[in-house]
Amino acid sequence: MLGKTILTGVKPTGNPHIGNLYGAILPAIELANNSDRSSYIFIANIHALNGVKDPVFLKDRTYEVAATFLSFGLDINKTIFYKQSDIPEIFELTSLLMNYTPKGLMNRAHAYKAILEKDGNDDNVNMGLYTYPILMAADILAMKSDIVPVGLDQKQHIEIARDIANAFNVYYKKEVFKLPTEFIEYQDSIIGLDGRKMSKSYNNTIELFATEEDTSKKVMKIPTDSLLPSDAKSKDSLLYKLMKIFNVDNSYMDNFIRGGIGYGDAKKVLAETINNYLRPYREKYNNLMADKTQIDDILSAGATKARAVAKQTLKEVKEVLGL
Ligand code: TRP
């Protein structure tokens, strides 16, 4: 995307799977690597705090996200890659933006509303969750981002960031902030090993960095009917759909459909195909995770660059505000 600043954040939630890879990780890397402007990808570890309270868990997940992006080809010469917590200017900007954010805007945010509806009150909603969209707006506006690649579930947050930016600009009659636009890359969800959407909550995921053995075991459990190897199979069958997603050899898949291959054999081939595909990435990932200082160095170099940009934005904002 030419002439556009791309930015996206990733919450460190851990155990990334194929659904995350195709739905979020690869599209973000692709956009960031091919931008002719600055692009930013960061680990939203402060955003995670509204739910995650275990420091070891948070640290481990942060390294995992970093190693995932790096092993799948994020080009750190083109993309500024950093941890949100390393950029204090973002939190300063969050405080300032609070004053241009109507409470009603937060009341309408999906995540907050969902809890309110479930519990019947908001007594257990912490302010981190309630103000989540303001922090997210600060992430985006601090870097003067144009395009924010996100999943559909984040669309409202980008709209809120745009609303806040616009309210500020209108109030001070100055284009201080760019108005960001969401970029919803992938609307179809990837199917999981049980035929439903691939999701951690369904326990039907193919994890990117599991062992080959664990991956195979999961694939062998894909549910099938009782057709014989010699029976013709449907292209609508789950196993066929999964073979297609992972580009199993075409003549093998034709043979499967015609009735030359049994389910057990097809699952073995599928597992092998998945493991072959993931092997080089797993290797890079494991190397990075074995020497985390590499990751630390990359993220701290990224933070230095990101901070310089955020500082500049904050300076402009403060001037406009009379601070
Ligand atoms: N809220 C996003 C999510 O849950 C993560 C995120 C935080 C983000 N800050 C962002 C995404 C800024 C895009 C831009 O996935």
Q: Ligand 1: distance of its center to the CA of 100 in Å?
A: 20
Residue nearest to atom 6 of ligand 1 (CA): 9
Distance 214 CA to ligand 1 centre (A): 30
- Which ligand 1 atom is at minimum distance from the Cα of 136? 9
Distance 66 CA to ligand 1 centre (A): 15
C-alpha distances in Å from residue 230, one per residue of 54, 129, 251, 254, 270:
53, 55, 16, 13, 19
pLDDT tens for the chain, residues 1 to 323: 788 999 999 999 878 999 999 988 999 999 999 988 889 999 999 999 999 999 999 999 999 999 999 999 999 999 999 999 999 999 999 999 999 999 999 999 999 999 999 999 999 999 999 999 999 999 999 999 999 999 888 999 999 999 999 999 999 999 999 999 999 876 677 899 999 999 989 999 999 999 999 999 999 999 999 999 999 999 999 999 999 999 999 999 999 999 999 999 999 999 999 999 999 999 999 999 999 999 999 999 999 999 999 999 999 999 999 99
CA distances from 12 to 20, 130, 236, 323 (A): 12, 19, 35, 34
Whether 6-187+292-321 and 200-285 share one fold: the answer is: no
Which residues neighbour 105 within 8 Å (Cβ) at sequence distance 6 or greater? Answer: 133, 160, 163, 164
Q: Among 276, 310, 9, which residue's Cα sits nearest to residue 151?
A: 9
Q: Where are the domains of the chain?
A: 6-187+292-321, 200-285
Nearest ligand 1 atom to alpha carbon 44: 7
Taking the centre of ligand 1 as the mean of its atom positions, its distance from the CA of residue 142, in whole angstroms, is 14
- Which residue owns the Cα nearest ligand 1 atom 7? 9
Which CATH fold topology does 6-187+292-321 show?
Rossmann fold (3.40.50)
Regarding the domain with residue range 200-285, which homologous superfamily does it belong to in the CATH classification? Tyrosyl-Transfer RNA Synthetase (1.10.240.10)
Expressed in angstroms and rounded, the spacing between residue 185 Cα and the centre of ligand 1 is 14
The ligand 1 site (C-beta within 6 Å) comprises: 7-9, 11, 44, 47, 136, 139-140, 148, 150, 154, 157
